[in-house]
Structure 1
Amino acid sequence: MITITTSLFLLLSLLALSCFLQVSSNRDAEILTRVKKTRLLDQEGNLDDWVITRHKQSPCDWSGITCDVTKGSSLAVTTIDLSGYDLSGEFPYGFCRIRTLINITLSENYLNGTIDSVSLSLCSRIQVLILTENNFTGKLPEFSPEFRNLHVLELESNFFSGEIPESYGRLTSLEVLNLNGNPLSGIVPAFLGNLTELTRLELAYIGFDPSPIPATFGNLTKLSYLRLTNSRLIGEIPDSIWNLVLLENLDLATNSLTGEISDSIGKLESIYQIELYDNQLSGKLPESIGDLTDLRYFDVSQNNLTGNVPEKIVALELISFNLNDNFFTGELPEILALNPNLIEFKIFNNSFTGKLPRNLGKFSELSEFDVSTNKFTGELPPDLCYKKKLQKIISFSNRLTGEIPESYGDCRSLNYIRTADNKLSGDVPIRFWELPLTRLELSNNQLQGSIPPSISTAGNLSQLEISGNNFTGAIPIKICDLRDLRVIDLSRNRFSGSIPSCINRLKKLERLEMQENLLDGEIPRSVSSCTELTELNLANNRLRGGIPSELGDLPVLNYLDLSNNELSGELPPELLKLKLKLNQFNVSDNKLDGKVPTGFQQDIFLPGLLGNPNLCGPNLDPIRPCRSKPKTRYIIVISVICIVVLTGALVWLFIKTKPLLTRQPNRTNNVTVFQRIGFTEEDIYPHLTEDNIIGSGGSGVVYRVTLKSGQILAVKKLLGGPGQKPESESVFRSEVETLGRVRHGNIVKLLMCCNGEEFRFLVYEFMENGSLGDVLHSGKEHRAVSQLDWTTRFSIAIGAAQGLAYLHHDSVPAIVHRDVKSNNILLDQEMKPRVADFGLAKPLKKVYNDGVSDVSPMSCVAGSYGYIAPEYGYTSKVNEKSDVYSFGVVLLELISGKRPNDSSFGENKDIVKYAMETALCYSSPSPENEAMNRDSRGNYRDLSKLVDQKMELSNSDYEEIEKVLDVALLCTSSFPINRPTMRKAVELLKENKLLE
């Protein structure tokens, strides 16, 4: 009887529990659907299966939902993971009404808005909260004491601002804290040292006020991962850090840490990876590092470390060994080559001497080898690619001798070789030319031989640089099969024969240097098909024939040197199309004749014209003036009569046709007027002459037109008619569709357009001071340079930002410019900026609640070199954050006065990387240097290397420049999600304006 009663009781209990769980499941489903409807925007339909039906009321098989099966039921929702679902909207507090929920993961979406700490208290039962890569703004949310079970908090890559709240120091159960990539302020808080359960702490890429690493972090004894990369840390590494014996990964790279590395580093017995690169550490490497037997990744590059490298460290079985950019000396012991784990070996920019260990690569799967810029002697190790894994050999700027080992020719894994500026000699192995390389640089050695036709098998080659050697023979035609070539530098060799006419197949070619060889024949006209070409240098050869007029069609050519050849004929007037783009123009010491085209009759071009005895031109001493050919009296009389008759005929024709012209519109022209104007297209036609050209580009020619009324216009003429270029049509349509409806004081005004059969033109207001790029980079001769003080530059920055903000946020539909640069910011007589050139502009296809938009994928990269956002390298999509990046580059131009890719920044550095390094450079104050500006915590930032020396600045100017620099670095963040909107950028700049 008892057994039956017990069984009945259990049965009833199970039925009750089942009913309860079913009811609970139904309630959870209702909560989920309600939140989806009210708080989330699912434009991609990823949550379409969140639907309650009569036969299917459990949410446990819905997308992103996980239910608890550990309690014998699948009905209790425990996890909501909607990572990468392309959701927008605000934080869904309603999810927390699900009583069993412990994990909310919403990373990689477009959620926005602030997180209200009071509303968040509803979620106090959760254990995991992951919101990485969204668009949340405002202060970091506070967490009340009820969040006693919170174990994981990840808020990386949002727009949270302000200081880290003290309540975070009371989350004593926290095991993971990740705030990377947020624009937070304040200092690295010491109270985080209270979180003794932490195993992972990440505070990287945060613009803290310069501050030291809190000594309290030494209390985090369970920590295995500590990442404080690029967090503006200063001072010495506290000794307490070396007590974290469970630490496996220590990343303090890209800060301004000083002092020596303590010998106590040897206590980190569990350490697997140490990243201390790009700091200001000094002294010698402590030998105790050699006791860290689990260490596999060691990078102390870009510091001020000195002395020999202890043999104990070299003997470690490291996978990655990076010591570059220090002051290490001495020789490398042979024991280094015995390491079976070594994959990455980088010690460049030091003062190492002696020979390289001969057996390097023989016992390990070495993939990257960089010993460049040292003082190594002897030969290259022959077995670097013994394991057939080697990808890079970089050994330039040493004193290496001998031949290139034959074994390298068998290394099919190699894709990158730079061994310039050594003393290598002998023939280059034929198989070496055939490797699947992307870059081959052998310049400035003593190598010889010829380029074999089999180089055509190196199909990935983009840079071929072998200048300054003793190579001979003809340039093989097969080189034209290398369709990815961007750079060809064969200069200063003994190549002979002609330039292959098939060069037109190299559509990606940007730089062609063949100067100082023995080349003959003519310059192939087909080179005009290389539309990406920026530099053409064929000087000091034996080239003959005329200069191809087609060179004038190269849209981005800015360096042309054809000097010291045997070129003849006239200087083609078509080259005038290059006039405003050329930084170098030299056709001197040839056999050119005839009159110098009017546009080149200026002192700036004179040095590049000398040495052509038969050239002539007015007022170009020492070039002789042109003389008219002698004419007989008979020819003169006939000419005068013909002119009189022709003039009379034209007058008669004008009188007869004038009534017709006034009665009928010109059917071949379609004129659209966008502003109130006092002129017609007929007033413009006579002024579209060569003498009025003020600019040219790939889409057309720009003229300065002065009307009889005195009004000055800028007219851009584009090709038209049946033979027009597709890109010209695209530019015309984009300019008209965009500027025709835009009205803003910081966007150039389109007054009218004329769409004709022969050509089409656009008429704009004229900007007296040209472009910002001209003023910044054209030198002292520019009329507006003297006006470009810091106050003016700041005003230009504000105005340009307001123009772009209008395009992104106030125009309907919103517009992305896609080619923001200093040359496309025009300046009027009062130096007020106007954003111009909308030939690449596109409307934004969709707008999320946070204002972040997207457009259709582009078929090719748009924009200008140096201004293009890094995400172009891995995605074909573009949104307004690409414009924000380009604007950040313009801000850096205004601060520095330098071009985005100025050679003074150093190899492989652009203005963004250079400015970032400068921004992290803190030092002691100097009475003589006002550029050492004190920040809010009394530290000094040295801006002297970055700020344009042409400006006379006060201390308050430096303070303001520093704040603008911070805005620029925020705009040029590598990750689009970390960049502000243009509206926010305007606010930040206006906040930076110091009040009197």
Structure 2
Amino acid sequence: MYTTSVFVCVCVCVCVLGGGGDAEGQALLEFKSNITDANQLLINWDASDATPCNWTGVNCTSNSVTTLDLWNFNISGPMPPGIFGQLTNLTHLNVGGTSLNGNIPTDLLNCSKLVFLNMSSTWMAGLLPLDLGEKLPLLQYLDFSFASFVGPIPDSVGDLLQLETLKLAETNFSGFLPSSIGNLQNLRELFMGFNNFTSLKDCNLVGTIPESLANLTALNWLWLNANNLSGRIPDIFGRMTNLTGLDLSQNSLTEEIPPGICQLLAVEYMDLWQNFLSGGIPEGIGNLTKLIRFDVSQNNMSGTIPPSLGTLQQIEELTLWQNNFTGGIPPQIGDWQYLTDFKIFQNSFTGNLPYNLGSSTSLTIVDVSMNLLDGLVPPNLCNGNQLTELILFQNNFSGPLPDTYGNCSALVKVEVYENSLSGPVPIGLWGSPLMQFLTLYDNKFNGTIGTGIGMATNLGSLLLNENAFTGSIPSEIGQIGSALHKLDMSGNDLSGPIPLEIGNLSSLQDLYLDANALIGSIPPTIGNLTRLVQLNLSCNGLTGTIPASLGALTDLGILDLSYNKLSGDVPAALSSLQQLETFNVSYNQLSGEIPQDLIPFANIEGNPNLCAGSVCGGGNSTTSGMSKTAKISWVVGVTFAVAAILLIVGSCCICRKYHILLFKAGHQGPPDSWHLTSFHKTFIDESEITNLDEDNVIGSGGSGKVYKVVLPNGDCVAVKKLWTAKKDELLLHDYGFKSEVETLGSIRHRNIVKLLCCCSNKDTNLLVYEYMPNGSLDDILHSTKTGTLDWGTRFRIAFGAAQGLAYLHHDCSPQILHRDVKSSNILLDLDYEAHVADFGIAKTLSTAYSNYMSNVAGSRGYIAPEYGYTLKVGEKSDIYSFGVVLMELVTGKRPLEPKLYGENNDIVNWVYEKVESKQELYQVLDPNCSKDDHNDMLLVLRIALLCTNMLPSNRPSMREVVMMLLEATPKPKKNFVELEESAEEEEEEEKAEKKGHGGKQDDDTLQVLIMQ
């Protein structure tokens, strides 16, 4: 009887345990059946297994599931309800970094033993359960960051008394910070940045930061950055003695920094930038002896740097820029041994920089521009040869630039313009191998331009104007090659001829050599610079004729050859310069008649033997046979007639201007009166572009609708009519219009769409562009026309767009970021030349304050991952978007194709998956392109992968992208004879491919290219 009882008991226990395990296994299998496992990582989740404890991502204790860890698995689909009711012993749940979506399952709250819960970086959405704290009392780690939750944070979060880490950053939470957070006595990490908190005065708040946070005495990290926090910073930090990191940046906090903040004796990182803080840096800052980073940039702070700040020996980053600080720089700062970033620009600092600044061998960035500093440049800023940026412009520095900088091989940017620096430039600086920007203008530099300049093969901008350089332009400058985009040597004492080698600078867009003492003839090789937009050789001693080769500069907008000794006629070949707006050949020794096409914008004054149009020949016949008195009378009559015409025109202009001023001042004008502003030579009349027909709509986007308009002369233009603003959106509407006008109106580049003019009245804003007959890249690439784009054409489009973006990033001052790079914003002319378009949300970085935007701009599928959660605008965000465009060109696929990539995946992840899977690499290449182009396509795919690197710092610059594309230029195809000679070899390859080796060959080739 006893034996039987024992047997029954054991059986019952086994059944109970087996049933529990089966229930947990069934729950997990149901979970698997409801999601998509793209990489088959859950392939061993199989019902035939007796226990789920051996399954991937599953751990058990006492044969019961306690851990489900699917971190960063490529799984997607809704989080299925009903499974967590079976996982009652679960203590660790980690589904972060996946593409799971939907609301938090209500039965998750049944897992009352949960200690660790991570759903960060998923597509989870909805509200947090109100009873979260009550149901999960043992929780120690909670991370919902970078998901899509909405609404307020429930007060019950204060019931999670065991909580040590709370991460709710970038979750779209709104409302206010609940004061109940102050109950979490064990909390060590609080990350709540990038939400949308508001102020509620009846919630015991000062501004929007609860004073109850003072109770969090165990806290190590407090991140409340990029919220809507306002009011003053409460003085609550006296008891938070364990705090090592404080980030209140990117808010609207006001008033002074409270003195209690100087009691955070353990703090290492203090970020208070981009607020509206006033007052000075507290004197007590010297108490924070462990401080590594101190950033109060982009505020309204004033006063001097307290001497106590100089005693902090652990500082690595000191960032004070864009404030109203005055006074001198404490000399003790020069002794800092660990300093890497020293950025104090755009203040009113005076006096000298500490002469020993550079004691740190790790110094990488020194930016003290836009201050009132004077004295000598410290000689040891590049002490450890780590310095990449030396930015001193708009100060009063004098004396020489120390020779030590000639040995600083890490330098990428040297901007010391608008000072009083003198003496020769350190010889080694001319050939610095990594240098991209060498900007020395408006100083007193003298000596010669070093022949080592040819070694600076990454140099994109060389600005030496308004100095006292002497000697000749070294021929070695041609060795820079295609990197150089802007060259300005004007306003110096350079002599000798212009070297022929200057024609090797194939990417040059702006060339200024005016106001020197150059002699000899204009090199015909300048005609090789087919991307030139501005060419100024005026005020020299140039002789000889104007080369006909200048007629090849089809993008040229400004040509100034005035005040030289040029002779001969004006070549007829210059008639081909259809973009020309300024043609100045005044005060030379030219003769003959200028071409008819140049007359409207030509200045030929000071050339007595040069004439234009009817003045040539016709004038002589009119006065021939007249007496001297009659001729004088004729001249006087003509003069009076011209004066009368000018008076009438001038009066009209004055009236027009006065009318505009009255209109701007608020005086009532005709409601439908239009104001037209031209940016290029154009004869467009307002009436020709203001009557828009809906039948002629050719596009529509976020900023407006685009119409095709045929002008009376037969030319076509594209007119963008910006969306009419609602009353509460007038400011934004006005900003969008001004942004696009100000950005595009000043740009001259062959790969940037040309804004011809703008036209506006009280209610409507119109932008008039050159018409692109082939539409956008998106139109052709993702339509039935895609077959018309062979790889050679696609490559030219990619290269042209890259050139345009590189111009915006590297050659515009201030730098311009597009912020919405995508295939529909790359327009194609008749020859499929790419033109980057739509600057409605472009951002001009006139000050560093502009680096952060209030909302995410751009288009889904193209937005860089960091942009979505930091809102930090940088050129690397544009580069990511351009990488997506490259992937489109290589694959022929759209950025978002749910049926192909999965509901929450995109082209970048899809391509990376194929690259990682050797068996499927060939699938990324568009079958509409020839197999002969596969190797060339793979080279561009490699560039696309570099551009879309998850880490912005690992992405190349746009200039580097252009250089890489140059190296990836498709090779010329074999001619018929070469094809015959290689027929046998190709036959063998075809046989190998038929045996199944062709795909592997492609895959191996791509693997090699990707790994290089």
Amino acid at match of 2:216: L
Matched position secondary structure for 1:470: coil
**Could you say what the CA RMSD is over the residues aligned between the two structures, in angstroms?**
5.8
Deviation at 1:237, TM superposition (A): 0.9
Amino acid at match of 1:370: D
1:233 match: 229
Amino acid at match of 2:166: L
1:330 match: 327
- For 2:327 and 2:768, how far apart are their aligned partners in 1? 57
Instruction: Kindly indicate whether the alpha-carbon contact (under 8 Å) linking 1:117 and 1:143 is maintained by their aligned counterparts in 2.
Output: no
- 1:256-335 equivalent positions in 2, closer than 5 A: 256-317=252-313, 318-335=315-332
User: Of the candidates 181, 187, 208, which is equivalent to residue 198 of structure 1?
Assistant: 187
Which piece of structure 1 moves more, 299-308 or 184-193? Answer: 184-193
Deviations 1:151-201 (A, max 9, x none): 444344455454445554554444333343455544555454444443323
Deviation at 1:841, TM superposition (A): 1.8
- For 1:190 and 1:418, how far apart are their aligned partners in 2? 49
- 1:190-589 equivalent positions in 2, closer than 5 A: 190-209=179-198, 212-317=208-313, 318-362=315-359, 364-436=361-433, 437-482=435-480, 483-527=482-526, 529-530=528-529, 532-545=531-544, 547=546, 557-568=556-567, 586-589=584-587
Instruction: Kindly indicate whether the alpha-carbon contact (under 8 Å) linking 1:385 and 1:408 is maintained by their aligned counterparts in 2.
Output: yes
Amino acid at match of 1:442: L
Q: 1:526 to 1:354 in 2, by over 3 A?
A: same
Matched position secondary structure for 1:230: coil
Deviation at 1:30, TM superposition (A): 1.9
Which piece of structure 1 moves more, 514-523 or 270-279? Answer: 514-523
- For 1:525 and 1:230, how far apart are their aligned partners in 2? 56
Instruction: Kindly indicate whether the alpha-carbon contact (under 8 Å) linking 2:279 and 2:302 is maintained by their aligned counterparts in 1.
Output: yes
Question: Higher helix proportion, which one?
Answer: 2
- For 2:609 and 2:187, how far apart are their aligned partners in 1? 82
Q: 1:609 to 1:478 in 2, by over 3 A?
A: same
1:50 match: 43
Residue 906 (str. 1) matches residue 846 (str. 2): yes
- For 2:171 and 2:305, how far apart are their aligned partners in 1? 38
Q: 1:415 to 1:55 in 2, by over 3 A?
A: same
- For 1:333 and 1:166, how far apart are their aligned partners in 2? 47
Deviations 1:101-138 (A, max 9, x none): 444444455555x5266476566664444444455566
Q: 1:824 to 1:372 in 2, by over 3 A?
A: closer
Q: 1:435 to 1:749 in 2, by over 3 A?
A: closer
1:686 match: none
Amino acid at match of 1:473: G
Instruction: Kindly indicate whether the alpha-carbon contact (under 8 Å) linking 1:860 and 1:876 is maintained by their aligned counterparts in 2.
Output: no
Instruction: Kindly indicate whether the alpha-carbon contact (under 8 Å) linking 1:827 and 1:834 is maintained by their aligned counterparts in 2.
Output: no
Q: 1:270 to 1:492 in 2, by over 3 A?
A: same
Instruction: Kindly indicate whether the alpha-carbon contact (under 8 Å) linking 1:480 and 1:503 is maintained by their aligned counterparts in 2.
Output: yes
Amino acid at match of 2:778: K
Q: 1:876 to 1:424 in 2, by over 3 A?
A: same
Deviation at 1:825, TM superposition (A): 11
Residue 79 (str. 1) matches residue 68 (str. 2): yes
Q: 1:13 to 1:122 in 2, by over 3 A?
A: closer
Which piece of structure 1 moves more, 565-574 or 316-325? Answer: 565-574
- For 1:191 and 1:861, how far apart are their aligned partners in 2? 57
User: Of the candidates 57, 60, 82, which is equivalent to residue 66 of structure 1?
Assistant: 57
Instruction: Kindly indicate whether the alpha-carbon contact (under 8 Å) linking 1:769 and 1:827 is maintained by their aligned counterparts in 2.
Output: no
Amino acid at match of 2:191: E
Q: 1:833 to 1:540 in 2, by over 3 A?
A: closer
Q: 1:459 to 1:122 in 2, by over 3 A?
A: farther
Instruction: Kindly indicate whether the alpha-carbon contact (under 8 Å) linking 1:769 and 1:831 is maintained by their aligned counterparts in 2.
Output: no
Identity of aligned residues (%): 30
Deviation at 1:294, TM superposition (A): 1.0
- For 1:442 and 1:833, how far apart are their aligned partners in 2? 37
TM-score w.r.t. length of structure 2 = 0.62
TM-score w.r.t. length of structure 1 = 0.63
Deviation at 1:409, TM superposition (A): 2.2
Matched position secondary structure for 1:33: helix
Residue 842 (str. 1) matches residue 778 (str. 2): yes
- For 2:555 and 2:727, how far apart are their aligned partners in 1? 33
Deviation at 1:516, TM superposition (A): 1.7
Which piece of structure 1 moves more, 431-440 or 187-196? Answer: 187-196
- For 1:170 and 1:889, how far apart are their aligned partners in 2? 51
Q: 1:223 to 1:830 in 2, by over 3 A?
A: closer
Q: Which runs of 5+ in 1 are unaligned?
A: 632-693, 717-737, 752-762, 777-786, 802-817, 848-854, 894-899, 920-965, 984-996
- For 1:19 and 1:231, how far apart are their aligned partners in 2? 51
- For 2:277 and 2:285, how far apart are their aligned partners in 1? 15
Q: 1:355 to 1:106 in 2, by over 3 A?
A: same
Q: 1:543 to 1:768 in 2, by over 3 A?
A: closer
- For 2:40 and 2:105, how far apart are their aligned partners in 1? 27
Residue 115 (str. 1) matches residue 91 (str. 2): no
Deviation at 1:556, TM superposition (A): 5.6
- For 1:24 and 1:11, how far apart are their aligned partners in 2? 20
Instruction: Kindly indicate whether the alpha-carbon contact (under 8 Å) linking 1:570 and 1:593 is maintained by their aligned counterparts in 2.
Output: yes
Deviation at 1:265, TM superposition (A): 1.8
- For 1:867 and 1:208, how far apart are their aligned partners in 2? 39
Matched position secondary structure for 1:328: strand
Deviations 1:247-305 (A, max 9, x none): 11111223332212222222111100111223222222221110111111111223333
Matched position secondary structure for 1:862: helix
Instruction: Kindly indicate whether the alpha-carbon contact (under 8 Å) linking 1:93 and 1:122 is maintained by their aligned counterparts in 2.
Output: no
- For 1:72 and 1:138, how far apart are their aligned partners in 2? 35
- For 1:229 and 1:388, how far apart are their aligned partners in 2? 34
- For 2:278 and 2:819, how far apart are their aligned partners in 1? 41
Deviations 1:645-689 (A, max 9, x none): xxxxxxxxxxxxxxxxxxxxxxxxxxxxxxxxxxxxxxxxxxxxx
Which piece of structure 1 moves more, 190-199 or 414-423? Answer: 190-199
2:618 match: 627
Deviation at 1:208, TM superposition (A): 4.4
1:862 match: 801
Matched position secondary structure for 1:472: coil
- For 1:969 and 1:712, how far apart are their aligned partners in 2? 28
2:202 match: none
- For 1:76 and 1:61, how far apart are their aligned partners in 2? 10
Q: Which has the higher contact order (CA 8 A, sep 6+)?
A: 1
2:924 match: none
Amino acid at match of 1:177: L
- For 1:57 and 1:480, how far apart are their aligned partners in 2? 74
2:951 match: none
Matched position secondary structure for 1:180: coil
Deviation at 1:209, TM superposition (A): 4.8
- For 1:889 and 1:129, how far apart are their aligned partners in 2? 44
Instruction: Kindly indicate whether the alpha-carbon contact (under 8 Å) linking 1:578 and 1:696 is maintained by their aligned counterparts in 2.
Output: no
Matched position secondary structure for 2:194: coil
Matched position secondary structure for 1:302: coil
